[in-house]
Amino acid sequence: MITLVAALAIAGCSDPSSGGGNSGPPLVTGEQVVSSCFQNYFYNGILPKASAEANCRSCVVDQLSKLGVDPASGENVIDMLTGDRLSSSDIQSLQGKCNESDASAQ
């Protein structure tokens, strides 16, 4: 069992019920924050799938813009979300603004 857990952690897999992957590798891109947010909203029953995806992506893009991170010339939003390696303080800010861990927080 411990070997399986270690293998999953190394592979970057996490159990959605474990709070959005806190045991996995650190989040470093906007897309990883979107995924974490989606897991929290959808798997915890806060929003249906399509709404969770749209809400999380919109929140992360808006927050990145407020932090001064915008797509570079010739880059689209998906490129920006997957390519930018963010500072840990930016990641914490995004998670704080865009994640809800349970429906009671709504």
| pLDDT at 84 exceeding the cut of 90 | no
| Residue-range domain boundaries for the chain | 2-105
CA distance to 2, 60, 64, 85, 87, per residue, from 33 (Å): 27, 7, 11, 11, 12
Which residue did the predictor score with more confidence, 80 or 15? 80
- In the predicted structure, residue 102 carries a pLDDT above the cut 70: no
Q: Three-state SS for 42?
A: helix
Taking only the tens place, the pLDDT of each residue in 25-73 is 788 999 999 999 999 999 988 899 999 999 999 999 999 999 888 888 8
Q: Are 97 and 103 in contact (CB under 8 A)?
A: no
The one-character DSSP state at 58 is: H
- CB-based contact 94:64 (threshold 8 Å): yes
Helices (H), ranges, the chain: 2-11, 30-43, 49-66, 77-83, 88-98
pLDDT bucket at 3, cuts 50 / 70 / 90: very low
Q: Residue 93: what residue type?
A: S
Q: What is the pTM of this model?
A: 0.69
Structure tokens belonging to residue 25: 């590798």
pLDDT band at 4 (very low <50, low <70, confident <90, very high): very low
